[in-house]
Chains A and B, each alone.
Chain A
């Protein structure tokens, strides 16, 4: 039972993407101009990650070692096509907003990373929990980043205006440079917090 709990918790803090695990930066920067987009991207990633971990874990004894990366990519790409179609069918405006970043989930290193590092050597249920945990961590990070940028840059949160009297939108935040700087400063803040707690982790 403890292993299940550990696996569930690790994605939420110890290996929190994209901060701790500096992978999957492109979607983290690109779609977080608003909180809704961040959340939508995060949920799509959870879906792909849980099922790709499940299938890869099921097939882990069958896939030959030499062609494993190619096999993982096929599994992941199939799931991404599925997500693309589901989003188009049920969440059309969101799928228009996310645009090419939906098919680009295929090349999100987090998914391939978890397949290689976890699902290829662990049982099915555990792999699914791992996928969910890392995906949930990613979703939370993206939603927070999206909220910050949307509130500061547009004075809205989830599309609803929360601007007060005399609020001047900080347009810089919803543009490209804001994404980089916001992520960098959040990462720095997390490093500071971890250092205060005595955890050693500074990326090099």
Chain B
């Protein structure tokens, strides 16, 4: 039950994109088409969950025993960068279909704040291993949900008469604000 609550809280109440503002660059960048946003969402779920597991293990079994918590930032970003590179090479060799689907999004993910943010939040909330797993998966699923929903709205925006100055990123941000308002409605669900 606790895990379900944790997952619901991570997906809806504290949506990583719309309530915690992480991962906004890809949110505005690759949300113009529905299928690219699905690809990006899937790539983020995949990498963020893997990266969270790795960074959690490294933090508690390498950095903490040697009192090196202060280089957390440096260690995490290197792990994420290496992981992304590795996943890219691995997918290219082993699974052509998956590589074709996720390939172009992988390099972008290194500098996606959502991945790094989830890894840092795991440490901040002092999760144990299972909680960390649920939280990372749910948070990145929340990211995917938000970006896919947003892409759907944005496709409609293209054919709407938007004032000239508001076209592009400006209207996208206002739309995101309204979506965020909708997600704010979940706020009472979980304490």
Contact = CB atoms under 8 A, between A and B. Distances in A.
B168 A203 contact: yes
A28 to B, nearest CB: 8
A25 B24 contact: yes
A195 B28 CA distance: 22
Contacts of B116: 103-104, 106-107
A188 B77 CA distance: 34
A175 interface: yes
Given A184-B171, A191-B164, 13 more contacts: A22-B28, A25-B21, A26-B21, A69-B81, A77-B74, A78-B74, A107-B113, A179-B21, A180-B173, A184-B176, A187-B170, A202-B164, A203-B170
Given A25-B24, A180-B177, A100 B121 contact: yes
A191 B165 CA distance: 5
B111 interface: yes
A57 B52 CA distance: 33
A104 B117 contact: yes
A15 interface: no
Interface stretch (B56-64, B65-73, B135-143): B65-73
Interface string A175-204: 111111101110111011001000000111
A24 B168 CA distance: 17
B164 to A, nearest CB: 7
B93 interface: no
Interface of B: 18-25, 27-28, 70-74, 76-78, 81, 110-113, 116-117, 120-121, 124, 163-178, 180-181, 183-184
Q: Is the interface of B mostly helix, strand, loop or mixed?
A: helix
A180 B176 contact: yes
Name the 10 nearest CB pairs between A and B, nearest first.
A184-B173, A180-B177, A181-B177, A184-B174, A203-B168, A25-B24, A30-B21, A192-B165, A191-B165, A188-B170
Contacts of A185: 170, 174
Q: Is the interface of A mostly helix, strand, loop or mixed?
A: helix
A159 interface: no
B145 to A, nearest CB: 16
Contact of B81 (A73, A81, A84, A188): A73
Contacts of B173: 180-181, 183-184, 187
Given A99-B124, A203-B169, A178 B70 contact: no
Given A26-B22, A106-B77, A185-B174, A176 B168 contact: no
B171 to A, nearest CB: 7
16 contacts: A24-B25, A26-B22, A26-B24, A69-B110, A73-B78, A100-B120, A103-B72, A104-B22, A106-B73, A107-B77, A180-B176, A188-B174, A191-B166, A195-B164, A202-B165, A203-B170
A33 to B, nearest CB: 10
Contacts of A189: 165
B24 A29 contact: yes
Contacts of A103: 72-73, 76, 116, 120
A6 B115 CA distance: 36
B78 A184 contact: no
A112 B140 CA distance: 24
Contacts of A108: 113
